[in-house]
Structure 1
Amino acid sequence: MPETQFELQEKKTDKELYSYQQGAINQIFEKFDNERDDYHLLYQLPTGGGKTVIFSEIVRQYLKNHSKKVLVMTHRVELCNQTSKMLTSFGVVNKVVDSKANLDDHERYSCYVAMVETLNNRLNDGILDISDVGLVIIDEAHYNSFTKLFKFFENSFILGVTATPLSSNKDLPMNRNYDELIPGESIENLIKNDFLARAETYQYDMGLTSLEVGSNGDYTVKSSSDLYTSPSMLNKLLEAYTTHSKGKKTLIFNNGIETSIQVYHTFNSAGLPIMHLDNTATKKQRKHILKWFHETPDAILTSVSILTTGFDEPTIDTIILNRATKSLTLYYQMIGRGSRVLNNKSKFTVIDLGNNIYRFGPWGADLDWEAIFKSPNFYIDRIKDDEAIESTFKHELAEDIRSEFSKSKETYLDINAIYKEATFSGESSKVVLEKSIEQHAYICIENSEDVYDALALAKLLKEDIDNRIQVYGKCISKSTYNFISWLKLDYQKKLNAYLRENFDAVFEQIHGHPPED
Structure 2
Amino acid sequence: MQLRPYQNDQLHLLRQGIAAKQYVQMLMSPTGSGKTEVAKAIIAGSQAKGRRAWFVVDSVSLLDQALSRFHQSGLYAGAIQADHPCTDYGKPIQICTVQSLRPRLQHLLAAQPPDLVLIDEAHILYKTHLELIDWCRANRVPVIGLSATPFRRGLGTIFDRLVSCITTAELTEQGYLVPTQCWAPFVPSLKGVGTKANGDWIEDELAEVMGDAQLVGDVVSHWKALGENRKTLVFACNVKHSKRLAEAFFAAGVMAAHIDGYMPPHEVDEILRLYKAGRIKVLVSVAMLIKGFDDPEIACLVLARPTQSLMLHYQMLGRGLRPSPETGKTDCLIIDHAGNLLLNGRPTDTLPDQLDTGEGEPADRRQQAKQDHEQKTKACPHCGFVFSGLQCPKCAHEILLPDGVAVAPGKLAKLDDRRQVLGPTCKQDIYRELLGYARAKGKKEGWAYYAYQAFLKEPPDRAWRSSSLQSKPLTAEMSSWIKGYNIRRAKSHAKYGT
Please state which band the TM-score falls in when normalised by the shorter chain: 0.5 to 0.7
Over 3 Å counting, the alpha-carbon distance change for 1:316 and 1:368 in structure 2 is: same
Over 3 Å counting, the alpha-carbon distance change for 1:246 and 1:70 in structure 2 is: same
In structure 1, the gaps of 5 or more residues are 1-14, 207-226, 384-395, 401-413, 415-517
Cα contact 1:73–1:139 (8 A) shared by 2: yes
Deviation at 1:255, TM superposition (A): 2.4
Deviation at 1:68, TM superposition (A): 2.9
Aligned to 1:428: none
Aligned to 1:179: 160
User: Secondary structure of the residue that 2:115 maps to in structure 1?
Assistant: strand
Cα contact 1:63–1:69 (8 A) shared by 2: yes
The alignment status of 1:83 with 2:66, answered yes or no, reads yes
The amino acid of 1:23's aligned partner reads D
Give TM-score scaled by structure 1 length.
0.61
Aligned to 1:31: 17
In structure 2, the gaps of 5 or more residues are 188-209, 367-407, 413-422, 424-498
The alignment status of 1:19 with 2:5, answered yes or no, reads yes
| CA RMSD of superposed structures (Å) | 3.2
User: Secondary structure of the residue that 1:133 maps to in structure 2?
Assistant: coil
Whole-angstrom CA distance in 2 between matches of 1:176 and 1:121? 25
Cα contact 1:166–1:329 (8 A) shared by 2: yes
Aligned to 1:221: none
Cα contact 1:139–1:161 (8 A) shared by 2: yes
What is the aligned counterpart of 1:338 among 312, 320, 340?
320
**What pairs up with 1:4-403 in 2 under 5 angstroms?**
15-32=1-18, 34-36=19-21, 39-65=23-49, 67-101=50-84, 105-106=88-89, 108-124=90-106, 126=107, 129=110, 132-145=113-126, 146-153=129-136, 154-155=138-139, 156-167=141-152, 170=153, 173-205=154-186, 236-296=218-278, 299-343=281-325, 344-370=328-354, 372-373=355-356, 377-380=360-363, 398=410
Cα contact 1:250–1:298 (8 A) shared by 2: no
Deviation at 1:148, TM superposition (A): 4.1
Give TM-score scaled by structure 2 length.
0.64
Whole-angstrom CA distance in 2 between matches of 1:41 and 1:245? 40
Deviation at 1:248, TM superposition (A): 1.6
Whole-angstrom CA distance in 1 between matches of 2:180 and 2:59? 27
The amino acid of 1:177's aligned partner reads I
The amino acid of 1:367's aligned partner reads L
The amino acid of 1:29's aligned partner reads R
The amino acid of 1:303's aligned partner reads S
Deviation at 1:368, TM superposition (A): 3.8
Whole-angstrom CA distance in 1 between matches of 2:47 and 2:31? 26
Whole-angstrom CA distance in 2 between matches of 1:349 and 1:105? 44
**What pairs up with 1:417-436 in 2 under 5 angstroms?**
none
User: Secondary structure of the residue that 2:146 maps to in structure 1?
Assistant: strand
The amino acid of 1:138's aligned partner reads I
User: Secondary structure of the residue that 2:101 maps to in structure 1?
Assistant: helix
The amino acid of 2:296's aligned partner reads P
Q: Deviations over 1:242-262 (max 9, x none)?
A: 221122211101121111011
Deviation at 1:189, TM superposition (A): 0.8
Whole-angstrom CA distance in 2 between matches of 1:264 and 1:19? 42
Q: Deviations over 1:70-122 (max 9, x none)?
A: 1110111111111122222232221110011489952x211111011110111
The amino acid of 1:149's aligned partner reads L
Whole-angstrom CA distance in 1 between matches of 2:85 and 2:253? 49
Whole-angstrom CA distance in 1 between matches of 2:359 and 2:229? 41
Over 3 Å counting, the alpha-carbon distance change for 1:149 and 1:296 in structure 2 is: same
Cα contact 1:250–1:300 (8 A) shared by 2: yes
User: Secondary structure of the residue that 2:234 maps to in structure 1?
Assistant: strand
319-328 or 234-243: which moved more? 234-243
Cα contact 2:23–2:142 (8 A) shared by 1: yes
Aligned to 2:494: none
Whole-angstrom CA distance in 1 between matches of 2:365 and 2:117? 34
Q: Which has the larger radius of gyration?
A: 1
Identity of aligned residues (%): 23
Over 3 Å counting, the alpha-carbon distance change for 1:259 and 1:31 in structure 2 is: same
Q: Deviations over 1:132-159 (max 9, x none)?
A: 3111100110002132432443312111
Deviation at 1:380, TM superposition (A): 4.0
Over 3 Å counting, the alpha-carbon distance change for 1:127 and 1:144 in structure 2 is: closer
The amino acid of 1:62's aligned partner reads S
User: Secondary structure of the residue that 2:226 maps to in structure 1?
Assistant: helix
Whole-angstrom CA distance in 1 between matches of 2:308 and 2:73? 37
Q: Deviations over 1:280-320 (max 9, x none)?
A: 22232122111221222770111121111111111111000
Give the structure with the larger helix fraction: 1
Over 3 Å counting, the alpha-carbon distance change for 1:268 and 1:142 in structure 2 is: same
User: Secondary structure of the residue that 1:20 maps to in structure 2?
Assistant: helix
Whole-angstrom CA distance in 1 between matches of 2:364 and 2:146? 24
Whole-angstrom CA distance in 2 between matches of 1:265 and 1:293? 16
Whole-angstrom CA distance in 1 between matches of 2:348 and 2:290? 17
The amino acid of 2:277's aligned partner reads E
Over 3 Å counting, the alpha-carbon distance change for 1:297 and 1:317 in structure 2 is: farther
The amino acid of 1:199's aligned partner reads T
Whole-angstrom CA distance in 2 between matches of 1:246 and 1:51? 32
Q: Deviations over 1:210-234 (max 9, x none)?
A: xxxxxxxxxxxxxxxxx9x99x969
User: Secondary structure of the residue that 1:140 maps to in structure 2?
Assistant: coil
Cα contact 1:73–1:115 (8 A) shared by 2: yes
Number of corresponding residues: 346
Cα contact 1:103–1:128 (8 A) shared by 2: no
Larger relative contact order (C-alpha < 8 A, sep ≥ 6)?
A: 2
